[in-house]
Amino acid sequence: MRVGAEPADYLFPGTTMTKDAIKPGKVRGIDHIGITVPDVEAATWFLSEAFDATIVYDTVADGLPRRSPEDLAATVALNEAQRVIATRIVRLGDGANIELFEIEGTVPGVHGIGALGLQHFAVYCDDIAEVLRRVLAAGGAQLRGPNPLFGAEEGPGNAMHYVRAPWGTLIELISTPAGTAPGREMNRWQPTRS
């Protein structure tokens, strides 16, 4: 929350986004993350069963609209042996969107946070045990946990538990009911309670 801001200064009730937050060149937050999966339908089913994901829209279905290999190489770094089969945007609650890609000709990568690049995304949960139950029922796998958070995130009930989606993506289940350490430059974002 911006110091000195009045309620009328906020764009949306219940948020900390002020009117001065929208200006040319201002980054407003994460719009989406992209995940390449072996099957868009199966990934959508998992995310829906485990996290109540909803479909926003499809941009590519059954390989259409088809783009040239040259265009794909220049715009999204696919090689000529790869082809986009499906692309879908899904949303989890009050958070960023997830763009699912089904690509013909994918190769498995290195898994885990020890590799360079984007390695996981986190889902905020009020009840980690219940969400974990849903993840496992939908075909996910758990790593060791739940684990108490530490450092600036330490607090009563603050915990995390890593899981893997059926296709291998790491997903962190996180809950910080006690909040995080005060005195930071900015508060950590959390989705609103429904």
User: How does pLDDT run across 44-89, given as a tens digit for each residue?
Assistant: 999 999 999 999 999 888 877 777 777 777 777 777 778 888 999 9
Position 17 pLDDT exceeds 90: no
Q: How far apart are CA 139 and CA 1, in angstroms?
A: 39
Looking at the DSSP bridge assignments, the partners of residue 180 are none
Task: Considering the chain, tell me which residue range(s) the CATH 3.30.720 domain(s) occupy.
Answer: 30-105
Taking all residues of the chain, what is their mean pLDDT, rounded to a whole number? 81
Task: Considering the chain, tell me which residue range(s) the CATH 3.10.180.10 domain(s) occupy.
Answer: 117-183
Q: Which class in CATH covers the domain with range 30-105?
A: alpha beta
Kindly state the average pLDDT of the residues 128-153: 93
Position 113 pLDDT exceeds 70: no
**pTM here?**
0.76
Angle at CA 74, nearest 5°, toward 71 and 77? 110
Kindly state the average pLDDT of the residues 123-146: 94
Position 12 pLDDT exceeds 80: no
Structure tokens at 83: 């082809």
pLDDT given for residue 152 in this prediction: 82
Residue 140 burial (CB count, 10 A): 19
Angle at CA 86, nearest 5°, toward 81 and 92? 130
pLDDT confidence bin for 28, thresholds 50/70/90: confident
As a whole number of angstroms, the longest Cα–Cα distance in the chain is 56
pLDDT given for residue 74 in this prediction: 74
Find tokens 């764009």 and name the residue: 11
Which region among 28-37, 104-113, 161-170 has the lowest average model confidence (pLDDT)?
A: 104-113
pLDDT given for residue 75 in this prediction: 72
Kindly state the average pLDDT of the residues 103-112: 72
Strongest mean pLDDT among 19-23, 77-81, 106-110, 122-126: 122-126
Give the tens place of pLDDT for each residue, 68-77.
Answer: 777 777 777 7
C-alpha separations of 187 from 4, 49, 174, 184 in Å: 15, 30, 16, 7
Q: Which class in CATH covers the domain with range 117-183?
A: alpha beta
pLDDT given for residue 15 in this prediction: 54
Position 173 pLDDT exceeds 90: yes
Looking at the DSSP bridge assignments, the partners of residue 164 are 141, 170
Residue predicted with more confidence, 142 or 19: 142
